Structure 1
């Protein structure tokens, strides 16, 4: 599922206030965004938009919506659904007060909405714009049964390994290019007095991300797609091999701070603090680009100086993986203003719309036309470039594609079984069998 702990920490940086309500100022390192001056062709019309975002993320997205309002004259209201998007939107549809546009945080939810007949196909014009501005893979993830329903606006880059430059310098190691080198450097770090990794195992979602990066690189994108659709079983040899590879790290107490037992007591924010806090307990933490928000906003460290990242390394003879997540804009059939809704989604497909949030910080876009200078900081620019440069080799978070009962429920399915594997990684075949049993039941239902 959408990872709530990660989502709530993906806060925009303090530079967001520089933009102001007019959205015409030049933000830190970027060019001016000036969304006003449109034809006001939707003046007097009202749009309702729903999404999971709260806090600073919601404030930043409202700036994007304000940009659309200034161009078109439309009035927009935004409401947060919380994490259970499907239930909330379903209730709104039944109650006759469906929003016009929903920002859907999971491929699985988008597909569910489409299967229920809730979604209006996006216009041909939106499809053309998306074709120019996005790699085809992003259109594919927004397509169900050959119909284009979802325009991906916000993305996350989940193939980033964050590290302490100070710890690396003291141990005399550098960013790893291969998984084998990652383990070797980790043992050198341990010998220098600090465990290699802080692993966030208290919730299952970071463990699914670990598995997905190893599997995508080692087994390749075709097998990744098949496993995501459950067209090959979780007992497949590629799955057992990936679990064994991941187990090389999990079983080594010199590589994981506190060992498996300690990792199972470590939540995501704490895993970042263990690396970049005042009393470091590890040298690296694996997670997405949203780690930077915790480093800057909670720990008050400087990203690029006190905290850096390198791409998740290649495994065996595979290519370095690029795993992503994202939020897609969809138009509901039950909404009261579909014409204006389509105009909003068309706007969200533009570099201009993405640039507003990019300048505020805490955001990267799959839109390859967003100027590098629009991004709030060098780390965001680097993460966005890595994501867009990956083109069609990007793969969406596998657990977000799965039924929630398997890929998105605390204490059940993949989350729980990978936690069990972290506790005892000695039997990857048994773990694969349990994963297959849970997956078969969830996909059948």
Structure 2
């Protein structure tokens, strides 16, 4: 079925330079006569596979609009190291899609970044909730444009497993655990937990903490203004430990979870031989369920919002990739044009149609998304406005919140292995955080 274009004003979007951005004025990328013809724009990002292919469609649309040739480099997960080595080698990319707030701040404080243009700033003010500008800014200067977002407060489930257990999508955390035990009693463990990938465990903690402790405490902990030994942290770990310690709720128990990576956790729910009824993670679960296992999203793979914990509000935790311009990039004009283009609903619509993508740009019509489930997750993200909180581990120094085998990732894996002492885990987290933030 053909999708409707992003808004009525874009019902006939053209990729000429005079195209009008949905809900805004003329797109400034490149000027009026393909002024970037003959020039090359280099872009680096963590993406590979399907994500890289879909982002290439955005790059191709930019080429059609401006005449610029594009070169893409996949950095892998260690963006900071790869970009740093390229800068030292005199081969800096023009634009980097940065996946962590902490890394964006690190780049800015090292003096690697050029502020975004006033035109991009105006587009952000008009199309984004203020929280996204805050996450893209350092000391009041806007360096990062959040082009791609993730909704990390979604729990994915098998409707067949729920039907067999006689349960419906829950609205509260305790109800979710009760429903999970009913699923287990009907023949499947409740959750596939991707404990081999420590980042998934940070996401579990963050949703519980945001709902239990509230956004003010969440922000303070993210900035390390309160210690990880704070009672609110111990309370959230205790709540998470109730799940981790219940073998009926976790496929394979703690040992099985620690041997399951993120794609494997999705396979355990939506693969050919289901081993669990639910998997918690972001909207990107849908892409794996659909592309790798042929599930029809909304029919035999569905989601419910991460439920509110014990009287708190339902959390909305997000992540995202921000476009930044490097000072040492060789083509500043193309970089400015590209970041201005990414700020338009037109650019977001290209990837939204391809799938596996959410935009924080509220001017993008949700009709641009390819299915009802994506539209629902996009609407939830936009509706949350400033209540959205960015992934806490992504705001931390990478040594604490974003490195395999150390810091928060490792300590929460240890907690999954033995969740009997939340206070001791909190103390270990504080020791690691204090060292990383001081460094």
The interval holding the TM-score normalised by the smaller chain is: over 0.9
Task: Provide, for residues 342-384 of structure 1, a one-character-per-residue CA deviation record: whole Å limited to 9, x for no partner.
Answer: 1110110000000001101111111111111111222211111
Which residue of structure 1 lines up, in the alignment, with residue 286 of structure 2?
Answer: 292
What SS does structure 2 have at the residue aligned with 1:301? coil
Aligned counterpart, 2:25: none
Q: Is residue 33–residue 355 contact of structure 1 (8 Å, CA) maintained in 2? A: no
Are positions 1:62 and 2:68 aligned together?
Answer: no
Instruction: Indicate which of 375, 382, 387 corresponds to 1:388.
Output: 382
Specify the alignment match of 1:208 in structure 2: 202
Aligned to 1:17: none
- How far has the Cα of 1:232 moved from its partner? 0.5
Of stretches 212-221 and 290-299 in structure 1, the one that deviates more from structure 2 is 290-299
Q: Does 1:199 align with 2:193?
A: yes
TM-score, reference length from structure 1 = 0.91
Q: Secondary structure at the match of 1:175?
A: coil
2: CA distance, partners of 1:195 / 1:425? 19
> What does residue range 338-353 of structure 1 map to in structure 2 within 5 Å?
338-353=332-347
State the partner residue of 2:216.
Answer: 222
Q: Cα RMSD over matched residues?
A: 1.4
TM-score (norm 2): 0.93
Query: Which residue in 2 is equivalent to 1:29?
Result: 3
8 Å contact kept, 1:331–1:342: yes
* Corresponding position: 1:77 with 2:102: no
1:169-184 to structure 2, matched below 5 A, reads 169-184=163-178
SS at match of 1:390: helix
Alignment gaps of 5+ in structure 1: 1-26
Give the superposition deviation at 1:121: 0.9
The 1-side partners of 2:12 and 2:87 are apart by 35
Shift in alpha-carbon separation, 1:194–1:149, aligned structure 2, 3 A: same
Match of 1:368 among 344, 362, 369: 362
Count the aligned residue pairs. Answer: 419
Structure 1 position 33, deviation (Å): 7.2
Aligned-pair CA distance for 1:180:
1.1
**Contact conserved, 1:35 with 1:70, CA < 8 A, in 2?**
no
Post-superposition offset of 1:35: 4.2
* Distance across 2 between alignment mates of 1:164 and 1:392: 31
Q: 2:135 aligns with which of 125, 138, 141?
A: 141
Could you tell me how far 1:280 is from its partner in structure 2? Answer: 1.8
User: What residue is the counterpart of 2:407 in the other structure?
Assistant: 413
More divergent stretch after superposition (69-78 vs 305-314): 69-78
Aligned to 1:162, what secondary structure does the other structure show? strand
Q: For the residues of structure 1 that align with 2:105 and 2:215, how far apart are their CA atoms?
A: 20
Q: Do residues 121 (structure 1) and 105 (structure 2) align?
A: no
Aligned-partner Cα distance in 1 for 2:436–2:400: 6
> Is structure 2 residue 289 aligned with structure 1 residue 310?
no
> Aligned to 1:410, what secondary structure does the other structure show?
coil
1:30–1:376: 8 Å Cα contact kept in structure 2? no
CA 1:93–1:364 in 2, change beyond 3 Å: closer, same or farther? same
Instruction: Give the stretch that moved more between structures: 263-272 or 141-150.
Output: 263-272
Q: Distance in 2 between matches of 1:153 and 1:363?
A: 10
Q: Determine if contact 1:48/1:100 at 8 Å carries over to the other structure.
A: yes
Q: Please state whether the residue corresponding to 1:78 is helix, strand or coil.
A: strand
Shift, 1:45, TM fit: 2.6
Do the aligned partners of 1:42 and 1:340 also contact (CA within 8 Å) in 2? yes
What whole-Å deviation, never above 9, does each CA across 1:388-432 have from its counterpart, x for those lacking one?
A: 111111111111111122112222111111111111111111110
Q: 1:35 and 1:50, CA in 2 relative to 1: closer, same or farther beyond 3 A? A: farther
Q: Is the 8 A contact 1:35 1:67 kept in 2?
A: no
DSSP 3-state at the match of 1:177: coil
CA contact (8 A) 1:28 1:359 kept: no
- Give the secondary structure class of the aligned counterpart of 2:81: helix
Q: Who is 1:8 aligned against?
A: none
Confirm or deny that 1:335 pairs with 2:329: yes
Asked if structure 2 preserves the Cα contact closer than 8 Å seen for 1:28 and 1:377, the reply is: no
